Structure 1
């Protein structure tokens, strides 16, 4: 695209839009219609310039014009309870549902890897001895040892808050660092899987795998699912840099980034629930089957929320992105 020719052809439209915006609310009905039409055309011009000839001066002027026109056309609005309800009943579950092809394989492969690591550690005493000295391992795995007392070592409320903070930070890191070509996400995910595998292996070698699973499953099912969703979304965000699809790389990354930000908020709520279970249910005096049943119920409720509520919203066109009036126009690019 010849930028000089493009600017010459459309400068009059941009000047007219600027003139209408400067008049504020003193517009006739016909002028309001003209402002809306010019706003839409200018947004398209901005997208074309960004994708074909991103001159800073032209992009800066058009960005300012589009932002001012959007404010004039849509008006200013504040997020309210209706926005929060829409996010929880449509935006967040639809975003998780749409990314299922990323986080479900991530969950399956991670679980398999944790099981393999646990088996490998449990059948190789030399690997166990490389982890810690024999007396330290006994202190960790024996009845009343560190694996058991960990969940009751602090008051339930403060422990739940600490767990939620740590897990929310891990999930947020997976979502944010996905833009770095997926590598940091893979490392964070592997670290979590390795810790789980070590616990499985050590407790299994001590003949207490049932105790370990009774401690980890009540909160771990929902907690790990949230981590897998975050990791899968981060991997999807990183892959967008490699293969943006029909959109420009900037537009595709912006779309996935906005969805990831919303995902971080939703997953923080999910991890708050799993943290509460870990702080109050896991160390409680309930029977093992009752604690596991609570964890399974929480996990099933989340999956129903994603696949039923989120699936319905996704099929209706919800993508977990901001409203179309709050983002710039996106145009496909040539393959």
Structure 2
């Protein structure tokens, strides 16, 4: 088949479908037209795939069909149904499927944190090389505690949420390269260990754990998840298994994007706790108890809803009809 001739013969139909799919409102005749045009373009895609596969053209038509399908069939009710499906099935199933990656990252990070903090406590002279005596005194007596209450709670929550999501998004986006994720993870873990060792050495360990645990349990878990997902993405092209590298990256990449979207909600919860609970006047046991309860609820979410959805066949990927290689045809 002469692909150029085929494209020229049907370009007008594709452009018409593109135009209809971008319109805010469709008349009755246009609604009928978009369905008819969709079916014709789906047939064109099927022909191109079988007779003269061209990656860029297939990707273009697949995206065009996906947008047209959403425009023709999407309703507000459908949108809410998709959101509910994401929260109750796709997101927890993706977390459950990749659980060994982020749980391994979590375990290794905790071991490293404890080891570094322990080593610093065993070598007190290192502390003086990290900061001056005045800086350490300010950190212990004022800065660490003051950090959580120096800004208005609402603006502080937004700032924390944005910063944490940016870090998580970087872990996922740079995951394909592997090393940057490990670097960011180790850098953050060592910083936590340094602060912990300083606070503990100066008799403020109770203050440190009382302020960091309420929000830190969920916040750090989100970071570990992002790092685990990023490393899983890296491993998808290093060792794709029976899949081609392109297929493995596509599947893991779509799941990674879904996890990133889900982390937006989790980090929002963490940010609210950090802004409103951590610096509150509640007793330490109550603040830490809230953090533990939220953390436990997260694990129950992953290992109940996520396990159920995973066992039912959900993998955290987009639906088969929305994948470029499986667009419906007439």
Query: TM class by shorter-chain length?
Result: 0.7 to 0.9
Whether the 8 Å CA contact 1:97–1:310 is kept in 2: the answer is: yes
1:155 to 152, 155, 159: 152
For 2:226, the equivalent position in structure 1 comes to: 230
For 1:246, the equivalent position in structure 2 comes to: 242
Flag structure 1 segments of 5+ consecutive residues without an equivalent.
Answer: 1-6, 27-31, 50-57, 331-335
Distance 1:223 1:165, change over 3 A: same
For 1:165, the equivalent position in structure 2 comes to: 162
Distance 1:138 1:45, change over 3 A: farther
Pairwise mapping of residues 29-44 of structure 1 onto structure 2 (< 5 A)?
43=49
For 1:90, the equivalent position in structure 2 comes to: 89
For 2:21, the equivalent position in structure 1 comes to: none
Whether the 8 Å CA contact 2:45–2:58 is kept in 1: the answer is: no
Pairwise mapping of residues 10-89 of structure 1 onto structure 2 (< 5 A)?
43=49, 58-64=54-60, 76-78=72-74, 80-89=79-88
Instruction: Give the TM-score normalised by structure 2.
Output: 0.82
CA distance in 2, matches of 1:193, 1:248: 35
CA distance in 1, matches of 2:258, 2:108: 25
Deviation for aligned residue 1:65: 5.4
Deviation for aligned residue 1:137: 1.0
Q: Which is worse superposed, 227-236 or 246-255?
A: 246-255
Instruction: Give the TM-score normalised by structure 1.
Output: 0.81
Taking only aligned residues, the RMSD between alpha carbons, in angstroms, comes to: 3.3
Distance 1:153 1:246, change over 3 A: same
For 1:287, the equivalent position in structure 2 comes to: 283
CA distance in 1, matches of 2:112, 2:166: 23
CA distance in 2, matches of 1:245, 1:81: 36
For 1:308, the equivalent position in structure 2 comes to: 304
Give the match's secondary structure for 2:266: helix
Distance 1:272 1:45, change over 3 A: farther
1:189 to 185, 188, 199: 185
Distance 1:207 1:244, change over 3 A: same
